[in-house]
Structure 1
Amino acid sequence: MRQPRVVIIGAGIVGTALADEITRLGWTDVTVTDRGPLFRTGGSTSHAPGLVFQTNGSKTMAELARYTVEKFTELEAFDAVGGLEVATTPQRWTDLHRRYGWAKSWGIEGRLLDPQECAKLHPLLDPERILGGYHTPTDGLALALTAAEAQARRATDRGAQFLAYCEVVEVLQADGRVTGVRTADGQELPADVVVCAAGFWGAELGRAVGLTVPLVPMAHQFAKTGPVPALDGGERLPMLRHQDSDLYYRTYGDRIGIGYYGHDPRPIDMRTLLRDTASEAMPSMLPFTPAEFEPAWRESRRLLPALTETELDEGFDGIFSFTPDGFPILGEHHGLSGLWVAEAVWVTHSAGVAKAVAEWIVTGAPQIDLHECDLHRFEQAALSPDFIRRTSMRAFVEVYDIIHPHQYRSAPRELRTSPFYARQRELGACCFEGGLWERPAWFEANAALMDELAADGVEFPERDEWSGSCYSPIAIAEARWTRTHVALYDMTPLTRYEVSGAGATAFLQELTTNDVGKKPGAVTYTLLLDENGGIRSDLTVARLDDQFFQVGANGPLDLDWFTRHLPGDGSVTIRDITGGTCCLGVWGPKARDMVQPLCPDDLSHKGFGYFRALRTYLGSIPVTMMRVSYVGELGWEIYTSAEHGAALWDLLWAAGAEYRVVPAGRIAFNSLRLEKGYRSWGTDMTTEHTPEAAGVGFAVRKTKASFIGKAALESAVPPKNTLRSLVLDDPRAVVLGKEPVTVNGVVAGYITSAGWSATIGRCIAYAWLPSETRPGDEVHIDYLATTFTAHVHTEPVVDPEMSLIRR
């Protein structure tokens, strides 16, 4: 059998690493092309300063960086000088504690230092200017060109070839598949797989085949000093970050290299790039702009007084790729099979990205979770040129900013609003943003409930500055009111698909783990798995007719997965109905009293049981009601078309007046779902977790003849780690997620999500912990500079008998 032929466009750090990783997996018919020379090709790799800091708020990005360090060390292309990040403000010092927590969560060696310890590591530092620092001894300098050449050499030894001055100008295709590429000199290179690893040229190549690659090339300033007398001994100093002033530093012998993000974003016009860079050493370097660098030079001399004895010697404005969310762009074009992209990848993560993408291409699924990096993670509006440009420029500005986990972009906003949005604003909705939707987090109109509930004994503990940011105690009142009365939750942002046709049942059965082929009217919770048995998503599938299903999903990645697996005979149709419909969750013990008078059908538990769906009317409004509840209370998700949305809100609001209905937001929603033991995909569980480990094994029907991932589950070994519920001991203690968890004196896991429970008066959190951990075990959670005690709890923490939801 002929091996697949692979062409990789770009011989920079990503393309060479991909060639190495793909050939290592056994595909050796690999050709790598580049428009420039080998291996100083003229792209971003050729001028990258090579700083590799592994600590990241994303577990995935930290894993990609860690593998890069390991591999480059093996290739003798890494200098482990260590990394040092210093704080000059109290806010940054607090954030360094958070970063240290991430490091412990992801297994990266690190420590916090006082100013004198920092100065001992980096003698050029003025200890009077800093409050402390965070040191990572295994971080260091990647020798990017050495690493690229070494990986290319290994790939060549296995059969790959590298072609210099070979610019790809066209991707060839037939019948929806790539067949090869055409070069500038008219040569055709046949291929079954083409990978675009062209760096900031990638967006242009994508555009030629109808693919939006959401990145913006931008200039970033970098300068080198002249000789620094204090470095005449050639000391090996750690890399240094001064993020409060958007600066980083590395040594070049007796000189210091300085990188600066504090200038205004400078997006590059690719149409004039070659003309703009004609006077520079390569097309990824623009002329230095000294005036913009002046603030950086002044601050550098304050932080590192030894620099007053030298001057700037040279500089350039280097071009790098920035994306709307700061993550790489990885995956296969769903409109052209066999065309892959590996773009917006910095040297820090290059080898890790290459390994994961090679696994994805060759075996069908990467070993680590890549949903944050997936090409198809963006909503349609986020693929507009305006959105990509504005948000990527903002990503440049925020490279070194302290970003709260509940801090959302300020612009563009109000791109997606539900039909209830005007009513919500009237009630003082404070909105978070997710999937471009405006999502109420809490409502100022509910402030008065706090006094009423406090009189009944409900506590509203004060929070520290960090956990109290992007938060209101009103959310506690909303959660408690849901448990005692009734509340309206805007569920419109839940992604919804219609799946229909003669082959719809068989299609969904093959893709999902549970039995969704029940009689019409049934609702089923189920999972999508990848070929490794990892959880790609969780779904709610309602069978509304013999050949018609409504699927509640998690976002664009699910639609991409569905469309890739559609049968070729036209027997299945998928339609995204999210924007044309809306949904209100009506939940609480008084929900039936409030809704039944509006409906001609029997809404009793006997007449309309749990996990059932019903097409009916509320007043004159046609609705689909589903007896499901992510908050663990009596009630329904009520769907209608967007044209009826405002009328639906007004109808329910009026009907709920005598039952004191309130609107409730996402913070209350999150705390209630934690009480009930419900998982959030992408946060609590990902493709790195099996259903058993994540506590959702009940959604796997093992007797089904087949489904994607079944074989992997059948051969899986018992999981080493399991998702557990924790309850913090101190009623004032709150964690937010990604904090390390210590068991018996050893960091053994990390928090995924958390929320303060108004029902039990404690914070509830999920954590991945060793499977031998049992309910009742004591654990410790490091939150910033504080350590909290917690205990593993049985699930669900609230209402284990499920009596509330089945009233």
Structure 2
Amino acid sequence: MKQKKIVIIGAGVVGCSTAYYLNKMGQRDVTVIEQGPLFETGGSTSHAPGLVFQVSFSKVLTTLASQTVETFKSLSTDAQRSFYSVGSLEVAHTSDRLEDLKRKAGVASSWGIDAFVLSPEECCEKSPLINRDNIYGGLYVPSDGIAKPLNAVDQMTSFSKSCDTKFYGNTEVTNIEVVDGQVKAVETSAGKFEADLIICCAGFWGPHIGEMVGVTIPLQPMAHQYVFTNELEELAEEEEEVTMPLIRQQDSSIYFRQVFNGLGIGSYQHRPLPVELNEITKYGEAKEMPSVKAFTPEDFEKPWQDATEFIPSLKQAGIKKGINGIFSFTPDGMPLLGESQKVRGFWVAEAIWVTHSAGVARQMAEWIVNGAPTVDLELCDINRFDTYAQSPDYYKPRSIENYEKVYDIHHPSMPPETSRNIRVSPYYMRQKTLGAYFNEKNGWEQPQWYEANDSLVSVYEKTILKRKGWAAKYWSPIIEAEQLHTRQHIGLYDVTATKKRLEIKGDGVVEFLQQLTTSNIDIPIGHAINTLMLHELAGIKDEIKVIRKATSAFHVLCTGPVEASWIQKQLSASSQVVIQDVTAETCSLCVIGLKAKEMLQSLDSDVFVENKWTSQSAKELLIGNIPVLAVYNSYAGMDSWELSTTNDQGLQLWDLLFETGRPYKLIAAGDRALEALRIESFTLRSSKDFWSEHDPYEIGLDHMIDLNKPTFIGRKALIDRKEKGPKLILVTLILDNPTVVVMGYEPVFSKEKVVGFVTSAGYSYSLGKGIVYALLFPENVNEEATLDVEYFGKTYTAQVMKDSTVVI
């Protein structure tokens, strides 16, 4: 990237880390502006306890935490420690928590981090302070530790200053100048700073900065209780700040870290304490720094009781000081990163804990300089929230809920409780009448299964695989009955929520889509093609479906708002191409099943005659008096039509299909059965089985690559990656034990060595086996080899399926 004027707003650990990595990548015109003093700015960095628990069920958060540890360790000196590698211990006080820690140890292996499940006695050996009573076991991660962010900032800013980066403290941002949708300057109390690119690292003040450019930054500041104890007798001789492992006792929602001769104790157990921006003082206007509110001792009574039972010597020590420190929560618990679609050059790095700070900064710098990060950040992208989620009525309650549940045992199918019924399809009332069990998908209420199909359970009872334990949570045997019934008859699926629907048209649209995608999209009118979008480093941005409706008009289905915003960003300012997001005004139903063709032919024999439909046929037609875009495909060996129409006629389409389908035993079926059919049909899903860290050759999607095209985004990098060979290969495994159902991200072993991890998993009724998609190291892709999949600490043998890298 050419040298640009870059202004970073905020000199906490995130802002300073970002400047540091931009400087390391050769950027020299960088300015950092801070409203507080340098460098104990008064933000969250100044009071953060610095705990770095790396392992998360999220791969991206684990990677960002690991990169933060790597950075802070590299910045440590004998005179100034930036990181204490003392390890961490998570202690289970219930059998459910111990099982969850076993699962967590598994994903640690998947993500490449050593983690060990310990017995109660081993837990007490790691930390003699804790009470052995009621301990079921624990999880020990030796590479975790305590970060000293201000020490790290000191080291990073010294380097940045040597690269001519300028730091301005006590400088308040008053406005941001935007011209023709592009940032131009930052106006401050100390004057104007011209900028080609602005990075908002303002912490919980971020929403205020976002308002200046009309960008919503959906985060909720929350006050969080943290106390310092007096000296403990057992730590009286300690001279180092930290020597004992950091500890989490999540069943009581508390954590502990050593602070010389005492402890720091944080609690998530108290009532939510949301803070509004107008309640936060500026630096110097109150006794404490702006990020600290007055301690509320009544909220710490129960946590203190639990803490003293867990560490008995705390009773004698007592509390020296307490604070209610402010930090940021988001609706989905993930950071907010990247360039806003609304304003070019306005970048965001918000809602980031010290745990992930330097890792985020490294990826942000790569993203800005190289055009893409090396770590997939789709789940963190600031553009992932549609307009519905940018309302405070949505993101504030959901963020508070995430705070309340931060130490809960999280199941991947657990539905959120707040901010529901925000988006509903035209079929919603029919679905409620059928007893739909809803979860949220992209803000939509999405049926998971229908209680109206309960009678089918007895019909298929002898065939249904019964789930137990963890796999049976938020599950119903009705899901399996719907899957089986679709295979024998017909299922009607609401797929309104599954994709973004874009109309792309205008002069130059073919050239635009050719540059955007890896396939030749100059297809005949009335045809569809599945193709890939790559970013500049040849990682898969998304698999999309492109449907040609006219010479200069296409209908495009992409995964979600992040991908849609990326498509929009590829348009030049002078382009005559117009992109219209029609997701909110349209709806889609999928008719799948053995008898789907027969049913639709009875509805209109002229339109749905057999010889008029081939794979990826697409037709605009009338079903009754309802205008529909119909796309044909095969699904798990069955016929499938996706039928899209406008919202005002969606309910009429549902009723017509439902009535026509009665003689063919059509049922409404839920999203969970559709996902099971996807896996059974060996169909991969973008962002689940692959993401932007992977290239098409690794995933077996090279049939979507047309290198005869002279150019497309990522083409040169793709050729380079092909020559170097794959880092991972996606394969299909078959579990030997047909009763085992794993759920994703479990580690795969070969002779006790981790060789990859699970992406998707399900059960194939046609094979009578569990199917597992897994990313493996290339040297371990051997059809003769026996592999093991670990699930809750137990291993289950699996075989590589022949020709498993070929997607059907």
- TM-score of the superposed pair, with normalisation by structure 1: 0.96
SS at match of 2:381: coil
Aligned residue number for residue 597 of structure 1:
602
Match of 1:627 in 2: 632
Residues 394-439 of structure 1, C-alpha deviations (whole Å, 9 max, x = no match):
1111111111011121222121121122222222221221101111
Could you tell me how far 1:464 is from its partner in structure 2? 2.2
The answer to whether the aligner puts 1:490 opposite 2:494 as a matched pair is: yes
From 211, 217, 232, the counterpart of 1:213: 217
Is 2:798 aligned against 1:790? yes
Residue 174 of structure 1 and its aligned partner are, at CA, apart by: 2.5
Report the CA distance between 1:505 and its aligned residue: 1.5
> What pairs with 1:658-807 in structure 2 (closer than 5 Å)?
658-716=663-721, 717-772=724-779, 773-794=781-802
* Aligned residue number for residue 467 of structure 1: 471
Greater displacement, 253-262 / 233-242: 233-242
**Residue matched to 1:805:** none
Task: State the match for 2:581 in structure 1.
Answer: 576
The residue aligned with 1:641 is: 646
Q: Does 2:413 match 1:393?
A: no
Q: Secondary structure of 2:707's match?
A: coil
Q: Post-superposition shift, 1:629?
A: 4.1
Residue of 190, 193, 196 corresponding to 2:194: 190
Counterpart for residue 116 of structure 2: 111
SS in 2 for 1:754: strand
Other-structure match for 1:415: 422
Q: Which residue of 1 aligns with 2:260?
A: 253
| Partner of residue 226, structure 1 | 230
The residue that corresponds to 2:145 in the other structure is 140
Tell me which stretches of 4 or more aligned residues in structure 1 moved more than 6 Å. Answer: none
- Residues in 2 aligned to 1:506 and 1:600: alpha-carbon distance in whole angstroms: 38
Q: Is the 8 A contact 1:724 1:769 kept in 2?
A: yes
SS of corresponding position for 1:70: helix
Instruction: Give the partner amino acid of 2:782.
Output: R
Aligned 1:53-64 pairs, distance under 5 A: 53-64=53-64
Measure how far apart 1:686 and its partner are: 0.5
User: Could you tell me how far apart the structure 1 residues matched to 2:607 and 2:88 are?
Assistant: 65
- For residue 521 of structure 1, what is the aligned residue in structure 2? 526
Residues 163 and 568 (structure 1 numbering): CA distance in 2 closer, same or farther, change over 3 Å? closer
**Counterpart residue number, 1:95:** 100
**1:474 Cα deviation from its structure 2 partner:** 1.6
Provide the rounded CA distance (Å) in 2 between the counterparts of 1:272 and 1:349. 27
2:246 corresponding residue in structure 1 = 239
Q: How does 1:294-309 map to 2 (within 5 A)?
A: 294-309=301-316
Tell me the TM-score normalised to structure 2 length.
0.96
Deviation at 1:276, TM superposition (A): 11
**Equivalent residue, structure 2, for 1:70:** 70
Structure 1 contact 224–258 (Cα < 8 Å) conserved = yes
TM-aligned CA deviation for residue 795 of structure 1:
5.1
| Alignment check: 8 A CA contact 2:35 2:170 kept | yes
Q: Choose the corresponding residue for 1:316, options 315, 323, 334.
A: 323
Structure-to-structure mapping, 1:141-160, within 5 angstroms: 141-160=146-165
Counterpart residue identity of residue 795, structure 2: T
Alignment counterpart, residue 560 of structure 1, candidates 562, 565, 570: 565
1:86–1:132 contact (8 Å) kept in structure 2 = yes
Paired residues of 1:114 and 1:131 also in contact (CA < 8 A): yes
What CA distance in whole angstroms lies between the structure 2 residues aligned with 1:240 and 1:629? 52
Pairwise CA distance, 1:461? 2.9
Mark the CA change 1:660 to 1:624 in structure 2 (over 3 Å): closer, same or farther: same
Shift of residue 36, structure 1, vs aligned partner:
1.4
Check whether the contact 2:283–2:289 (CA below 8 A) recurs between aligned residues.
no
Q: Does 1:378 align with 2:377?
A: no
Unaligned stretches of 5+ in structure 2? Answer: 77-81
Deviation, structure 1 residue 600: 5.6
Provide the C-alpha distance between the structure 2 equivalents of 1:641 and 1:383, rounded to a whole number of angstroms: 24
**Displacement of 1:601 after TM fit?**
3.2
* Corresponding position of 2:79: none
Cα deviation, residue 637, structure 1: 0.6
Q: Could you list the per-position Cα deviations for residues 368-408 of structure 1 after superposition, in whole angstroms to 9, with x for gaps in the alignment? A: 10001100011211110111111111111111111101112
Name the structure 1 match of 2:545: 540
> Hey, what's the Cα distance between the residues in 2 that align with 1:732 and 1:748?
24
Distance across 2 between alignment mates of 1:465 and 1:220: 33
Find the counterpart in structure 2 of residue 8 from structure 1. 8
Report the secondary structure of 2:583's partner residue: coil
Letter matched to residue 798 of structure 2: A
Q: Distance in 2 between matches of 1:411 and 1:258?
A: 29
Question: Which residue among 453, 460, 467 is the counterpart of 1:453?
Answer: 460
**SS of equivalent residue, structure 1 residue 8:** strand
Whether the 8 Å CA contact 1:14–1:197 is kept in 2: the answer is yes
Cα deviation for residue 277 of structure 1 reads 8.8
Paired residue secondary structure (1:369) = coil
Alignment check: 8 A CA contact 2:741 2:763 kept: yes
Partner of residue 129, structure 1: 134
What amino acid maps onto 1:302 in structure 2? E
CA distance in 2, matches of 1:36, 1:46: 11
Deviation at 1:683, TM superposition (A): 1.1
Between 1:697-706 and 1:313-322, the stretch displaced more is 697-706
Question: Which secondary structure state, in structure 2, belongs to the residue aligned with residue 678 of structure 1?
Answer: coil
Deviations 1:663-684 (A, max 9, x none): 2212211121112221111111
1:599–1:616 CA contact under 8 A, matched in 2: no
1:263 is paired with a residue whose SS is: coil
Q: What is the identity, as a one-letter code, of the residue corresponding to 2:343?
A: L
User: Could you say what secondary structure the match of 1:627 adopts?
Assistant: strand
Per-residue deviation, 1:2:
7.2
Matched, 1:358 2:365: yes
Shift of 1:267: 1.5
Structure 2 match to 1:202: 206
Moved more, 352-361 or 472-481: 472-481
- Quick check: 717-726 or 168-177, which moved more? 168-177
Aligned-residue offset at 1:460: 2.1
Distance 1:795 1:25 in 2: 42
| C-alpha contact 2:178 2:213 (8 A) present in aligned 1 | no
Q: After superposition, give the CA deviation of every residue in 1:468-527 in whole Å (9 maximum; x if it has no partner).
A: 001112222211222221111111113211111122221111101111111101100011
Q: How many residues align?
A: 796
Question: What is the root-mean-square deviation of aligned Cα atoms in Å?
Answer: 1.7
Cα distance in 2 for residues equivalent to 1:231 and 1:699 = 62
Separation in structure 2 between the aligned mates of residue 80 and residue 161 of structure 1, nearest angstrom: 32
Q: Percent sequence identity over matched residues?
A: 41
Question: What letter is aligned with 2:249?
Answer: H
Letter in 2 for 1:105: S
Deviation, structure 1 residue 49: 0.2
The answer to whether the Cα contact below 8 Å between 1:776 and 1:793 also exists between their aligned partners in 2 is: no
The 2-side partners of 1:276 and 1:515 are apart by 58
Whichever residue aligns with residue 680 of structure 1, its letter is R
| Match status 1:51 vs 2:59 | no
Moved more, 470-479 or 341-350: 470-479
| CA apart distance, 1:258 | 0.4
Matched with 2:167 is 162
1:42–1:99: structure 2 CA closer, same or farther, 3 Å change rule? same
1:744 deviates by: 2.8
Give the counterpart letter for 1:414 in structure 2. N
Post-superposition Cα deviations, 1:708-750, rounded to whole Å, max 9, x if no partner, equal 1111111112102111111111111010011111023211111
* Distance of 1:253 and 1:116 partners within structure 2: 25
